[in-house]
């Protein structure tokens, strides 16, 4: 609980670690030096459990109804935000519901529909190329294996894992910029290369939690553990994180850094998520889901 805040807690469901406790844990870790493999695994799993408690509503933030829509949305999300992608995909899928329609669509119209995402010519080319391959080689159905997915135009390992984990229920670790940064801050890896990060993290967790873990780290990275100024002072894993102190440790200063539904003043949105309402329902109620 964030007990000493000036308003009803922005994140009352989030475990609040008093700064003294977090500092003592950080000092103990510095004193004892390196961790055993077993200790790292235990700490990693505790972090995951705490993040699961903090973000019980964590799911893919791209809106989709099926594997095809998720594949297209993920390809479109390169170099832009999920919120922006969610603003263009309803129109795109209404005009071209499946791969057959998109493959046949006039290129200029597809470009126009994705223009606001940036790199719109190459993104339009990618998704039409994707549609053509899926029609020609897979009879219009998105293939369900990593080996097949990564051969599709514009689809790398990250996109393939997103689709496998969220549309096919195949466990996958999605190493985007947030996941990589947090895995390094937690001391789970010292690698920069996403495939090596994936391998290191996969060794710490059973496959059953890989997809969920990906959402939890990405949520935490977007809302609290920012690249420049992480909100360490209100972080639910402050006493488990070797990087505690990278950002402000004062709870009041840290709270101002929270984003999305945890940002001060957005308690209603947070309550909606905690009550199990979907992003589409919350958007229909007038909530803005961006930071």
Residues engaged in binding ligand SF4 (CB under 6 A): 185, 224-225, 230-232, 235, 237-238, 241, 243-244, 246-247
Cβ proximity to ligand SF4: between 135 and 173 the closer is 173
Kindly state the tokens that stand for 17: 């670690």
CB of 47: closest distance to ligand SF4 in angstroms?
Answer: 8
216 belongs to an annotated ligand binding site = no
Q: Least distance (Å) from ligand SF4 to the CB of residue 241?
A: 3
Catalytic residues: 158, 176
213 vs 232, beta carbon nearer ligand SF4:
232
Is residue 112 a contact partner of residue 144, using CB atoms and an 8 Å limit?
no
Is 285 marked as a binding-site residue? no
User: Is 140 assigned to a binding site?
Assistant: no
Closest approach, Cβ 187 to ligand SF4, in A, equals: 10
Q: Select 135 or 224, whichever has its Cβ closest to ligand SF4.
A: 224
Please name which of 38, 39, 41 lies closest in space to residue 202, comparing C-alpha atoms.
41
Q: Which is nearer to ligand SF4, 61 or 239 (CB)?
A: 239
Kindly state the smallest distance separating residue 182's Cβ from ligand SF4, in Å.
Answer: 6
- The answer on whether 87 is annotated among ligand-binding residues is no
Q: Which residues are annotated as a binding site?
A: 225, 232, 235, 241
Q: Which residues are annotated as a binding site for [4Fe-4S] cluster?
A: 225, 232, 235, 241
């Amino acid at each position: 609980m964030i007990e000493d805040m000036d308003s009803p807690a922005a994140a009352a469901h989030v475990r609040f670690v008093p700064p003294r406790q977090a500092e003592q844990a950080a000092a103990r870790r510095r004193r004892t030096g390196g961790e055993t493999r077993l200790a790292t695994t235990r700490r990693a799993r505790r972090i995951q459990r705490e993040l699961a408690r903090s973000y019980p509503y964590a799911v893919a933030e791209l809106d989709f109804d099926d594997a095809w829509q998720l594949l297209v949305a993920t390809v479109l999300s390169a170099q832009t935000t999920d919120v922006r992608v969610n603003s263009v995909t309803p129109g795109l899928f209404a005009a071209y519901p499946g791969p057959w329609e998109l493959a046949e669509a006039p290129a200029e119209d597809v470009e126009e529909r994705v223009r606001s995402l940036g790199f719109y010519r190459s993104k339009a080319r990618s998704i039409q190329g994707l549609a053509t391959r899926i029609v020609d080689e897979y009879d219009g159905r998105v293939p369900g294996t990593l080996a097949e997915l990564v051969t599709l135009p514009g689809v790398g390992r990250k996109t393939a894992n997103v689709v496998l984990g969220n549309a096919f229920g195949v466990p996958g670790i999605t190493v985007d910029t947030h996941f990589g940064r947090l895995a390094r801050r937690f001391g789970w890896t010292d690698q920069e290369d996403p495939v090596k990060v994936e391998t290191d993290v996969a060794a710490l967790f059973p496959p059953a939690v890989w997809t969920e873990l990906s959402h939890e780290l990405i949520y935490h990275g977007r809302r609290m553990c920012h690249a420049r100024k992480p909100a360490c002072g209100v972080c639910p894993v402050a006493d488990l994180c070797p990087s505690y102190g990278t950002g402000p440790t004062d709870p009041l200063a840290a709270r101002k850094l929270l984003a999305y539904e945890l940002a001060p003043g957005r308690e209603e949105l947070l309550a909606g998520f905690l009550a199990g309402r979907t992003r589409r329902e919350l958007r229909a109620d007038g909530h803005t889901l961006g930071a």
